[in-house]
Amino acid sequence: MRRFLLFSLPLALALTACGEAESDPSEEGTSAEAAAPDDVAEVEAAARTVAEGFVASLNAEDAEAACAFMDVSAQEAVAALSEGSDDCVEAFPEYAAGLPDAEDVEIEEITTESELDGGVEVVVVTLVHPDEEVGALEMRESEDGEWRATRLPGLSLGGA
Q: Report pLDDT digits (tens) over 73-83.
A: 999 999 998 88
Question: Which amino acid is it at 145?
Answer: G
Residue 27: per-residue pLDDT: 42
Q: Is the pLDDT of residue 144 over 90?
A: no
Nearest CA among 100, 93, 160 for reference residue 127: 100
Chain mean position to CA 5: 15
pLDDT (tens digit, 9 = 90+) per residue, 47-80?
999 999 999 999 999 999 999 999 999 999 999 9
Q: Give all domains of the chain, ordered by start, each with its CATH number.
A: 2-19+36-151 (3.10.450)
Determine the Cα–Cα distance for residues 49 and 95; give it in Å rounded to an integer. 21
Reported pTM: 0.70
Task: Find out whether 121 and 65 touch, Cβ atoms under 8 Å.
Answer: no
The residue-averaged pLDDT of 81-102 equals: 88
pLDDT (tens digit, 9 = 90+) per residue, 14-40?
444 444 444 444 444 333 343 344 578
CA distances from 77 to 5, 69, 81, 83 (A): 25, 14, 7, 12
